Amino acid sequence: VDVAALEHAFDTNRDRFLRDWMELLRFPSLGGFPEREGDCERCAAWLRDWLSAAGLPAEVLSTPHRPVVFAERGGRPDAPTVLFYGHYDVQPADPLEQWTTPPFDPHLRAGRMYARGAEDNKGQLFAVLAAAATLVRNNALPGALKIVLEGEEECGSRGLYAKLAEWKRRLAADVLMVADTGTVPSGAPTITMGLRGVAFLNARLRGPDHDLHSGTHGGLAPNPALGMARLLTTLHRPDGSVAVAGYYDGVAPPADEERRLADAEPFDPAEYRRATGCDPAGGERGLSAALRRGFRPTLEINGLHSGYAGPGTKTIIPSEAEAKISLRLVAGQDPAHCLEAVARHLAAHVPPGLRLDIPERAVGGPGFRLRLDSRAVARARRALAGVSPQPTAFLWEGASVPVVSALAEAAGAEPILVGFGSEEDRIHAPDESFSVEQFRKLFLYAARFLSHP
Amino acid sequence: VDVAALEHAFDTNRDRFLRDWMELLRFPSLGGFPEREGDCERCAAWLRDWLSAAGLPAEVLSTPHRPVVFAERGGRPDAPTVLFYGHYDVQPADPLEQWTTPPFDPHLRAGRMYARGAEDNKGQLFAVLAAAATLVRNNALPGALKIVLEGEEECGSRGLYAKLAEWKRRLAADVLMVADTGTVPSGAPTITMGLRGVAFLNARLRGPDHDLHSGTHGGLAPNPALGMARLLTTLHRPDGSVAVAGYYDGVAPPADEERRLADAEPFDPAEYRRATGCDPAGGERGLSAALRRGFRPTLEINGLHSGYAGPGTKTIIPSEAEAKISLRLVAGQDPAHCLEAVARHLAAHVPPGLRLDIPERAVGGPGFRLRLDSRAVARARRALAGVSPQPTAFLWEGASVPVVSALAEAAGAEPILVGFGSEEDRIHAPDESFSVEQFRKLFLYAARFLSHP
């Protein structure tokens, strides 16, 4: 199937693709919220029906948590079997008041689709499904295709993890195709060569058993907000590195060729500032941006809350402070080991008079790096060559798709990650969007990748 | 009027006092909230009507903000004129879910009245009003009595401040009587010899202009939550003292007699722990609890908020962090100077890549200390001697009634602060309460103080 024919197929079916994509975006399929369980089930059923109607016979498989949609279509035994992985769950949409249009009421404005999940991951997964459906209709799928769409990627993939061993035969494939990543800033087609792992913990410092008057008790009661500030400050050294003993155990440094390719990609601080509103002043001093993001772990605070948040003032010493902490880990680090190291560090640095507890901790998954000489990488480069005149870029990403390592291992497949996300998409934030042009490029790549083994 | 007669008068009128007190507690008279302006006005009108009906002719005076209730009744010219000050506004009631019964639906349980404002200040002020009304009915008020009840004590007394100069003649008095303080832990009648001053500022650190994905941006974007933790940590030295240059300028050390009386009051860490749930581990190391609270300034965080606060995790680098900071100041410190010193310190310690702004700052008022040889102190000691067999205690308080210094100066009056609050009352917190016994003691003291010049 050549590019011109695929472009024609896209243009012919564009309105139908957009309409169906919008239907998919209407489900508030938040994976981690009990009150959204029904929405996740309805979203999974919709995907099953859509795939089946497209000639990709699908079913909804239950797990201990959110259901998984699984589709399978046979192919020539001599062509590699592809397993496509995506997730239909989305991040929470708050703060709601910062959305121009409601997060679950998709709107197309100036060529961009706005909705929670417009990019991550409903937009990207649906571009691949649309490509696969087009190939089925044209009888142009050479190898077998399996599709697995889970509903808990944003909160730890618990349901899929629980079933990986049981579904090993069902998932078996040669290549694990994932479209949950982005391109380099130039927009050149990009193969993501690595992802970071992730783990989480929530830390709580308790002082008084109720909020105290800050006049009567100021100078007597220990202040959990101040204590938490002091505790969190101990996590990093002034040079930006993580001060937790054992945190860097096992970190694999980049090979020379990896370092060369990573640093070859231009990084423009002015462009970064334009896209984010801030200078790239985070992370470790003295390392390039590409190395800091792709080859070094970080330790971030995602939420920090204590005391009064309303208008004006309230003169209290808060009874507690809570920090939501996440660890981004690189190939070679063991997430459970790092989580334990952080927990131990926190316990060893509790300020006087306060009590620490860690009510939640969870491992997402480890980081991983692809080999530059892999067969799947070569196949993706061939597919991308037809989509864009720009040369393909190689990116070692900072983000995580925690289940990818585990799924690749269970399926016996080589992972290949190509996506067309960009900074402009504002994933995980208000006004998330994905352009029809990004959708179209991913459609073309996926159709070429799937049709040319 | 002797104590037995007053006790009889209290017992006879107890039910009526409690009923009227509960009516007063039903107004959600939050001073700082525009949507509560009507409730404040209704509360002021209720007080005016109650006072007038009790023979204390009252009116509601408007200010640029919340209204002030003013009552005046003449007396013998040779007896000192007393100005009684109270505030009918209350603190915000959140977190609402932690109240056993709703904050503005007062309930009497096991001899304690539960409601927002049950103690601070509606309970204490109403005990004084009930005493004054009893004396009026018995024609036992020797000197003139003036009453001023404001509606913004918890948020800076803006309306009263704006009118102090204009009302100077109207407010003129010999003694300024205030019942907005507590007793020492033993419950012995207590004269509060000093109050701390207070000032506020809100600090905001901004990083990216929207929340960023913590994987894609971890190691690149500066994290405002971590930055705020680092910034707040610079405010104190490891020994608990305030590290802000110039913060201690003008702090007047206690005289030997003050130090002796302050430290004579037993402070039991076990009792403190029972009442608050925490050890008295805050403030400066190496100073007694009484000195830390009564004679030393503090710098507290009342609220600290950044990023995600919902259930589970959300992998973002927050776009900003906010801290609500309050300064408690002692006699000799200039609040505006200290506020400026803190603002300058914060500006000088902003972590790389983040931007500070200070959207709000406000001076409450300076701290003050009474003289041990004052005439009003002698009068209060005589009044208290009849109320309790326990000897009167002297307390240098940590809390603030910011307007008291300014009001005393405008009225040309000597302030005298006696209240019957206790730690158990949980003022500013959920389940605030005040016992009928505390109310009764304050009633007896106030009646004796007002009737015996």
Asked if B220 and A310 come within 8 Å (Cβ–Cβ), the reply is no
Above 90 in pLDDT, residue A364?
no
Q: Are A272 and A352 in contact (CB under 8 A)?
A: no
Phi-psi group of A332: left, alpha or beta (phi > 0 → left; psi -120 to 50 → alpha; rest → beta): left
Is A19 touching B (CB cutoff 8 A)? Answer: no
Check pLDDT > 90 for residue A48.
yes
Six token digits for residue B68 = 């002030």
In angstroms, the CA B427 to CA B328 distance is 17
With contact defined as beta carbons under 8 Å apart, do A196 and A399 qualify? yes
Strand partners, A148: A70, A85
Instruction: State which residue of chain B sits closest to A330, comparing Cα positions.
Output: B215
| Chain B: residue whose CA lies nearest to A421 | B216
* Residue B304 to residue A306, Cβ atoms within 8 A: yes
Is the ipTM above a cut-off of 0.85? no
Residues 37-56 of B with CB under 8 A from A: none
Determine the Cα–Cα distance for residues A421 and A429; give it in Å rounded to an integer.
14
Greater pLDDT, B364 or B45: B45
Considering CB atoms only, which of A214, A289, A430 is closest to B220? A289
* β-bridge partners, A242: A236
Residue in chain B lying closest to A282 (CA): B222
B404 by Cβ neighbours in 10 Å (0-12 / 13-18 / 19+) ranks as buried
Confidence class of residue A301 from pLDDT cuts 50, 70 and 90? Answer: very high
* CA A6 – CA A401 distance, rounded (Å): 29
A305/B306 CB distance under 8 A = yes
- Checking if the pLDDT of B166 tops 90, the result is yes
Q: What is the DSSP letter of A295?
A: T
Query: What kind and span of H or E run contains B221?
Result: none
Q: How many CB pairs below 8 Å do chains A and B form together? A: 343
Token representation of residue B372: 């041990």
Averaged pLDDT of chain A: 95
Alpha carbons B318 and B300: distance in angstroms, whole number: 23
By the CB < 8 Å criterion, does B303 face chain A? yes
Residue of B nearest to A223 (CA): B282
At residue A401, the pLDDT reads: 80
- Give CA–CA dist A346/B10, Å, rounded: 56
pLDDT band per the 50, 70, 90 thresholds, residue B45 = very high
Of A213, A302, A319, the CB nearest to B214: A302
Judge contact between A95 and B211, C-beta under 8 A: no
Facing A305 at nearest CB: one of B202, B214, B309 = B309
Within 13 Å, how many C-alpha atoms sit on residue A225's CB side?
Answer: 32
What CA–CA distance (Å, rounded) separates A67 from A290?
36
Q: Which residues touch A399 (CB under 8 Å, ≥6 apart)?
A: A181, A195, A196, B213, B215, B216
CB atoms within 10 A of CB A120: 28
Instruction: Enumerate helices (H) and strands (E) in chain B, giving the number of each.
Output: 14, 18
Q: Does A324 sit within 8 Å of B303, measured CB to CB?
A: no
Residue B438 has a pLDDT of 97
DSSP string, A143-187: S-EEEEEES-GGGT-HHHHHHTTTTHHHH--SEEEE---B--TT-
Prior bond of A95 cis (ω within 30°): yes
* Mean per-residue pLDDT, B376-398: 92
DSSP string over A43-86: HHHHHHHHHHHTT--EEEEP-SSS-EEEEEE---TTSPPEEEEE
CB pair distance less than 8 Å for A302 and B315: yes
Q: Are A384 and A445 in contact (CB under 8 A)?
A: yes
* Ramachandran category for residue A128: left, alpha or beta (phi over 0 → left; psi -120 to 50 → alpha): alpha
- Residues 233-272 of chain B with CB under 8 A from chain A are 233, 235-236, 272
* A67-101 pLDDT per residue, tens: 999 999 999 999 999 999 999 999 999 889 999 99
- Residue B155 and residue A313 in contact, taking contact as beta carbons nearer than 8 Å: yes
- Residue B382 pLDDT > 80: yes
pLDDT class of B401 with cuts at 50, 70, 90: confident
Of B432, B362, B338, nearest in space to B155 by CA = B362
- For position B265, what pLDDT does the model report? 84
Give A283's contacts in chain B (Cβ within 8 Å).
Answer: 218-220
Q: How far is A271 from chain B (nearest CA, A)?
A: 13
Residues 72 to 131 of A: which have CB under 8 A from any B CB? 91-92, 94, 98
pLDDT beyond 90 at A102: yes
Over residues B104-159, the pLDDT tens digits come to 999 999 999 999 999 999 999 999 999 999 999 999 999 999 999 999 999 889 99
Is the Cα torsion angle B345, B348, B351, B353 positive or negative in sign?
positive
Nearest CA in chain A to B351: A281
Q: What is the pLDDT of residue B396?
A: 93
pLDDT band at residue B211, thresholds of 50, 70 and 90? Answer: very high
Beta strand B175-178 with B82-87 is parallel
Cβ atoms A446, A379 nearer than 8 A: no
Q: Does B219 touch chain A (CB under 8 A)?
A: yes
**B36 near A CB under 8 A:** no
pLDDT tier at A371, thresholds 50, 70, 90? confident
Look at B293 and A352 and tell me if their CB atoms are within 8 Å. Answer: no
Q: Which amino acid type is present at position A273?
A: R
Q: Are strands A68-73 and A145-150 parallel, antiparallel or unpaired?
A: antiparallel
pLDDT of residue B392: 92
Query: Do the Cβ atoms of B302 and A279 come within 8 Å?
Result: no
pLDDT of A105 over the 90 cut: yes
The residues with which B327 forms a beta bridge, in sequence order, are B199, B299
Q: Using the beta-carbon criterion (under 8 Å), do A276 and B305 form an inter-chain contact?
A: no
- Does the distance separating the beta carbons of A220 and B272 come in below 8 Å? yes
CB pair distance less than 8 Å for B276 and A208: yes
* pLDDT tier for residue B198 given thresholds of 50, 70 and 90: very high
Q: What mean pLDDT comes out for the span B37-59?
A: 98
Is B367 within 8 Å of chain A by CB? no
The C-alpha angle with vertex B383 and arms to B381 and B388, in degrees rounded to 5, equals 85
Helix (H) / strand (E) containing A399: none
CB-CB neighbors (< 8 A) of B368 in chain A: none
